[in-house]
Chain A
Amino acid sequence: MKRREFIALAGGAAAWPLSVRAQFPERMRRIGVLMGYSENDPEAQNRLAAFTQGLVALGWSEGRNLRSYIRWTAGDMNHTATLASELIALRPEVILSNTTPVTAALQRETHTIPLVFVIVSDPVGSGFVKSLSRPGGNIMGFINLEASLAQKWVELLKEIAPSVTKTAVMFNPDTAPYAAYYIQPLQVAAAAFGVSPFAAPVRSEHDIEAAIAALGREPGSGLVLMTDSFIHVHRKTIIELSSRHKVPTMGYGDIITRDGGLISYGIDSIDLFARAAPYVDRILRGANPAELPVEQPTKFELMINLRTAKELGLTVSPALFARANEVME
């Protein structure tokens, strides 16, 4: 080979990576999001926005280097399975799922695509992960509430409404298959506080109406709402009915109180969605999902709606005020 040819070839080879980098735009990465809520719910939109803003802060912007496929199940179980397979067919590189039934539906569809879950109660019991510290599979994410928190619900309900002697625990058995996870500790606390608990399984708005009307007819009744995507979707109806029938209602998150519920104890769900963004980012950059641990909640918030308390004729004790993170007047 002639010297000039050799130099031209060597020089070209050295400069090649630079020219390639300049010519091709960044690779488009695909993520899937399967929300267990309704698309029209502003709260659900806020949660999703917290997640997408988190991604933007980490350098992922829609259209430039990221394409996200977002689907909404609105707490409908039949719809969930269809949407899950539809989303998997788009072959995203990582999927953000929320709520237990949605994560379960996705788990049935894939064992390879990494799933980051948010707002899942019992990932070990639901069979999503082997252990919290080492999930061991393609699924990892964030627990919303621990089982023992159900004890807090009964305790705080009894504290704000001392006349409560029995309480219904409302959930949809289809969307909350983990109900026993909360009911067991709840029963322990109920016994300690002299409250008799009973399950109020609901599957439609009609069921909700019947259950709350029945509670309204019996004095000394209270209502505990379990963290459940069905309850979340129908929360406004529940809050409206419980206030109409004068049933003191304990919620699982601040959104219940903000929408007019009496009292709630839980975590900041928007913050949880924001924290999911770094997990998705790390998976997109090649982290092994089996090695990313499941995070437990650390910040719990007690919120009281004074207006609703007044409507129900309840007085809030100083101890509750001392404990409350936020009091809505």
Chain B
Amino acid sequence: VTQLRTRLGTAVGTSASTLSALSRWICCKSGMLVRSLRTAWNKAGGDDGVLRWMLRSRLRTGRPHRTRSLLRKYAALLVALVGGSLIINAAIEMYYSYGESREALIAVQREKAQGAAAVIEQFVKEIEGQVGWATGFLPAGSGLDQRRFDFLRLLRQAPAITEVSYLDSDGREQIKVSRLAMDTLASGADLSQEPKFAEARAKKRYFSPVYFRKESEPYLTLAIAGSGRTSGVTVAEVNLKFIWDVISRIHVGKAGAAYVVDERGLLIAHPDIGIVLRKTDLARLPEYQCPSDLKRSIGPRGSDGVCTHRHTGVVGVCRPAAERSAAAGLCCARAYRVCARRWPPVRCACRRLVGASYGHTDPRSGDGCGTHRWW
């Protein structure tokens, strides 16, 4: 102990050579140990068990190493004290800051999801209003020409409507005006058994589930019945690709996005139109199980649902959009876990995971990792 004190005292006293003195001392001691071990090893002819025995016996007798073991104790105590307190401190700080950041993130996303839901509701309402206007009562004897004229104007006003038709009170198609195919007048096709006629007659309006035209473009059928027993039903085919215009303008941080899924989890609007046209079923993607979970978590009064994905840490907020239409479904905003900011490798891993599933690359950053800043 005295020897150590003297050595340490000299070392600390001469501050300039502290490190070099200590390191030289450690090198010297460890060199001795290694040399003695090697000798023992050679003596034993390289047997593993003998080496272990040699080591144990040397440590047990410990005659030349008494001072070294005390130093080890000092060092271990020091490291444990400093390191332990640092770790505990960091853990506490991280716990609280994670909670706070998560709350803040959810608050922002809730706002975004609400905004998106409102915009989509507005979109659906507008189309509903326009179709309702075209369903209006026509004076007797005005014939199909007047109706056709109204429908043509409707198509001019509402670019999202691809096709509009009028079914009379018996469910027979009187007129169909389309952007894509020729118009038909008085085809007389019987559509009285179709839900778009039956449900619209019963409940005044009907929204079909989202369907994909040519397996690619998301569409929705909207049917509105006119007032009065003799009035018919106007049926409009709405191209939901137009929701993209509004969805793509909503930014959630740099890597987040607002998107819309229907009740079954099918993606119907996303800033990256490509994944919508691929008819992506989010319910099947592991990191996007949120929608189905969220549907359960959304309260009866239409409150928001929040989910955190267990692997990627993606936080999502969902809000039902256009409550009257079952089809417009849920509108979600997502962003990335805040704690990822602290650990760039985690951040990159998260990004790669999400990016890979989507084939998504952010145009504003090359590979993203390192140069890309998230929330």
Residues of chain A at the chain B interface (Cβ within 8 Å): 3, 58-59, 131-134, 146, 148-149, 151-152, 154-155, 185, 188-189, 192-193, 278, 281-282, 285-288, 291-296, 298-300, 318-319, 322-323, 325
Mark contacts of B357-371 with chain A using CB atoms, 8 A cut-off: 1 yes-contact digit, 0 otherwise.
001010110100000
5 A-B residue pairs with CB within 8 Å:
A148-B180, A287-B359, A292-B359, A296-B217, A322-B152
Given that A133-B278, A285-B361 are known contacts, is A295 also in contact with B23, CB under 8 Å in the complex? no
In the assembled complex, the Cα of A278 lies from the Cα of B239 at a distance in Å of: 22
Instruction: Tell whether, in the assembled complex, residue A319 and residue B215 are in contact, meaning their CB atoms are under 8 Å apart.
Output: no
Indicate if B159 sits at the interface (CB-CB under 8 A): yes
* The 5 residue pairs across chains A and B that have the minimum distance between CB atoms: A293-B277, A151-B182, A148-B181, A322-B152, A155-B182
In the assembled complex, the Cα of A323 lies from the Cα of B156 at a distance in Å of: 6
In the assembled complex, the Cα of A151 lies from the Cα of B278 at a distance in Å of: 28
A15 CB → nearest B CB, Å:
15
A-B contact count (CB 8 A): 84
Instruction: Tell whether, in the assembled complex, residue B278 and residue A291 are in contact, meaning their CB atoms are under 8 Å apart.
Output: yes
B175 CB → nearest A CB, Å:
12
Instruction: Tell whether, in the assembled complex, residue A296 and residue B363 are in contact, meaning their CB atoms are under 8 Å apart.
Output: no
In the assembled complex, the Cα of A162 lies from the Cα of B42 at a distance in Å of: 110
Mark contacts of B223-239 with chain A using CB atoms, 8 A cut-off: 1 yes-contact digit, 0 otherwise.
00000000000000001
**Closest chain A residue to B244, Cβ basis:** A298
Q: Which of A151, A287, A291, A295 contacts B181 (CB 8 A)?
A: A151
User: By the criterion of a CB under 8 Å from any partner CB, how many residues of chain B are at the interface?
Assistant: 32
Residues of chain B at the chain A interface (Cβ within 8 Å): 23, 145, 148-149, 152-153, 155-156, 159, 179-183, 212, 214-217, 239, 241-242, 273-274, 277-279, 359, 361, 363-364, 366
Instruction: Tell whether, in the assembled complex, residue A146 and residue B180 are in contact, meaning their CB atoms are under 8 Å apart.
Output: yes
**Closest chain A residue to B362, Cβ basis:** A285
**Closest chain B residue to A325, Cβ basis:** B156
Instruction: Tell whether, in the assembled complex, residue A189 and residue B182 are in contact, meaning their CB atoms are under 8 Å apart.
Output: yes
Instruction: Tell whether, in the assembled complex, residue A298 and residue B363 are in contact, meaning their CB atoms are under 8 Å apart.
Output: no
In the assembled complex, which residues on chain B have CB atoms less than 8 Å from the CB atom of A288? 359
**Closest chain B residue to A282, Cβ basis:** B361
Since A189-B182, A291-B359 are in contact, a sample of 18 more A-B pairs with Cβ atoms closer than 8 Å, ordered by chain A residue number, is: A132-B215, A133-B216, A146-B180, A148-B181, A152-B179, A192-B182, A193-B182, A286-B361, A292-B274, A293-B216, A293-B274, A293-B277, A298-B217, A319-B149, A322-B152, A322-B153, A322-B156, A325-B156
Instruction: Tell whether, in the assembled complex, residue B214 and residue A154 are in contact, meaning their CB atoms are under 8 Å apart.
Output: no
Instruction: Tell whether, in the assembled complex, residue A149 and residue B156 are in contact, meaning their CB atoms are under 8 Å apart.
Output: no
Instruction: Tell whether, in the assembled complex, residue A154 and residue B216 are in contact, meaning their CB atoms are under 8 Å apart.
Output: no
A312 CB → nearest B CB, Å:
23
In the assembled complex, the Cα of A193 lies from the Cα of B364 at a distance in Å of: 52
In the assembled complex, the Cα of A325 lies from the Cα of B153 at a distance in Å of: 11
Most chain-A Cβ atoms within 10 A of its Cβ — which of B277, B279, B364?
Answer: B277
Q: Which of B149, B212, B273, B361 contacts A318 (CB 8 A)?
A: B149
Most chain-A Cβ atoms within 10 A of its Cβ — which of B159, B183, B217, B241?
Answer: B183
**Closest chain B residue to A286, Cβ basis:** B361
In the assembled complex, the Cα of A261 lies from the Cα of B237 at a distance in Å of: 31
In the assembled complex, which residues on chain B have CB atoms less than 8 Å from the CB atom of A3? 23
Most chain-A Cβ atoms within 10 A of its Cβ — which of B145, B215, B274?
Answer: B274
B210 CB → nearest A CB, Å:
15
B164 CB → nearest A CB, Å:
13
In the assembled complex, which residues on chain A have CB atoms less than 8 Å from the CB atom of B182? 151-152, 154-155, 188-189, 192-193
Instruction: Tell whether, in the assembled complex, residue A294 and residue B363 are in contact, meaning their CB atoms are under 8 Å apart.
Output: no
Q: Which of B148, B180, B274, B366 contacts A285 (CB 8 A)?
A: B366
B322 CB → nearest A CB, Å:
21
